[in-house]
Amino acid sequence: MIIKGLNNKQKEAVETLEGPVLILAGAGAGKTKTITHRILNLIKNGVKPSKILAITFTNKAANEMKERVFDLIGQDKTLNIPITFTEKPFVSTFHALGVHIIKENGALLGISRNFTIYDRGDSKRAIKNALEEIGFDTKQYEPGVILNAISREKGDGKTFSAYKNSNREYFQKIVAQVWEKYEAILNQEKSLDFDDLLLKTAILLRNYESVRKHYHTIWEYIHVDEYQDTNQVQYDIIRLLGEKTHNVCVVGDGDQSIYGWRGADIGNILNFEKEYPETKVIILEENYRSTQTILTAANNVIKKNVMRKEKNLFTKNAEGEKLELLISYSEQEEANMVADKARELIENKVSPREIAVLYRANFQSRTLEEAFLKKEIPYQVLGVKFFERKEVKDILSFIKASLNRESTNDLVRIVNVPPRGIGKATILKVIMKQKNTLSPALRVKVSQFLGLLENIKEIAKKETPSRLIKYIIRETGIESAMRNGTREEQEKLENIRELVSVASQYDLLPPGEAIEKFLENAALATDQDELEKDSNAVKLMTVHASKGLEFDYVFITGLEEDLFPHQRLNEDEVNQSEAEEERRLFYVALTRARKKVFLSYAMIRTIYGAQKVNTPSNFIGDIGDEHITSTGDTEKPRGVKAIFINF
């Protein structure tokens, strides 16, 4: 049964149980199926489920893997295993794994078990505060840029103390000053940011032998999905966890490495065999998703890269339709052409949810949205996280502030939600233990507010997450204030009620653990978690956001030089790695499609208020004329120099 439905290469991966294994899995090659069957085979061969660790990058991928593993275990009648919570394989994202390890061992680093997780918005606000405290102009030193610099250093495994002692240029000196203040803010509020979840985990595993040995006894078989996306600190975590047994199975595709800009190192997968010389390499090339035409186009594109392991995707699926190139005069015309094609598909009984429109940069979505609105085509933009909506964050802050009074960020956020006549300055005086300087009226208001937080804390100890949130929206006055408010406020109330539904998923856990898990998962939610399964709408998203997803029909828009790719491929050797990553990004876009790909570009596009005459992307030429059919006006626009078209 274990090999049923597997091809020979998948079977080989499933049956190779000991030692390091590198599975190079092309797009649509059934890597999740392979990993889950390998986990099942380990269990069938006597490995306790709890000895198995599987790590991936997104909650969506982790949940899918959990479901598949548990379904396979449940379906296999030869296994007589009572699958209790403790006996299940540990399937997690990297960040959730970090939370788990830090909560068990963080005291060694002076980290409270009840630490708060800063999302990117929280971190940017803290960086802004740090800049202002130092006296820097936040317009001159953009908080997001400083945060990205700190994030990159943490991803490379550097602590602040290591960074401040290195030789630095002017910008690095600025970063060091801000980082020091930022660390102080995090420590004061008993908080960690996303990067800390990984960095602190690596420090615990590296510096504390007892911690490392403990996890060696717990997890003897390690699986890592999307290994090409790991950065240095993630690489360190896997190396340290697997150093005893070397039973490390990594799955990935160097051709889909698209996160170099945030620190991912393609060298981790390309050099895996150097780290583990005894590695068994297995290449999965059979694609189960796309037509052969799409795969041929993708192969033609990616083979131009030098930094890669050779593979050539093929399929037993139909040859399929040629890729269709939509040529338009302007971005508005491009958006209308895309919308018209989407409407045509829908009229031909294609479900809107099976259509995706991809773009290189977020700004491109505006004209697309306008066109879809005008033509009344249902659409959903991926990118606005549910848990980052103000009203949702307010509720979460009530919970976090009640559990962690050191979290100034959360206290300041909610002190006047709904309005209760307490300002930021007042609550800061309370935090600084200067309550006696307040007027009698303010003292009463503050006492009532702090009493409310204390009540929330007590409720959290004994009630389910959903009941806790109902208590918060009722007792704070949020519900009554919004119920009779504007339409916008009523919509916000609906979002809060949706939060109750989300929280109810944790209601079966013990109360304290339930709240903890709920807050953890809310903090670690990703863009892809926003894809509602029942949302029958065309999906609009960046190519980066589409990673791991698949659709019947895919539109890849804005295929113009300097937009997609961002870097011209004929530039000097210094930019070769960036150029190759852009090509990998296009490869990812192509391989999201099952049935057909539409390519589009505009001859003229307005960027930063100026019109730019465009050259079509070199990627289009890489595909080959024989695989493309063109739609649109290829005539020279009036007043514009002819620059193409000859693929």
Residues with catalytic roles: 31-32, 225-226, 256, 592
**Residue type for 600, please?**
S
Range list of H helices, 432-510 = 440-462, 465-475, 478-483, 487-503
Buried b (16+ CB within 10 A) or exposed e, 487-513: eeeeebbeebeebbebbeebeebebee
Q: Give Cα 259 distance to the centre of its chain.
A: 11
Name 268's bridge partners: none
| Through-space distance between the first and last CA atoms of the chain, rounded to whole angstroms | 50
User: How far is the C-alpha of 9 from the C-alpha of 13, rounded, in Å?
Assistant: 6
CB 272 within 8 A of CB 230: no
**Residue type for 445, please?**
K
User: How far is the C-alpha of 287 from the C-alpha of 295, rounded, in Å?
Assistant: 8
User: How far is the C-alpha of 493 from the C-alpha of 473, rounded, in Å?
Assistant: 9
Buried b (16+ CB within 10 A) or exposed e, 279-312: bbebbbbbbebbbbbbbbbbbbbbbebeebeebe
Classify residue 314 by its DSSP letter.
Answer: B
User: How far is the C-alpha of 400 from the C-alpha of 456, rounded, in Å?
Assistant: 10
Neighbours of 373 (CB within 10 A): 11
The H or E element containing residue 355 is strand 355-359
- The residue among 376, 368, 361, 362 whose CA lies nearest residue 330 is 368
CA 223 → CA 75, 94, 242, 251, 332, distances in Å?
22, 12, 10, 8, 46
User: How far is the C-alpha of 338 from the C-alpha of 460, rounded, in Å?
Assistant: 49
Q: Could you tell me the sign of the dihedral formed by the alpha carbons of 392, 397, 398, 399, in that order?
A: positive
3-state secondary structure 5-20: CCCHHHHHHHHCCCCC
Counting Cβ atoms within 10 Å, is residue 465 exposed (0-12), middle (13-18) or buried (19+)?
A: buried
Q: Strand order in 248-252's β-sheet?
A: 90-93, 52-56, 221-224, 248-252, 21-25, 280-284
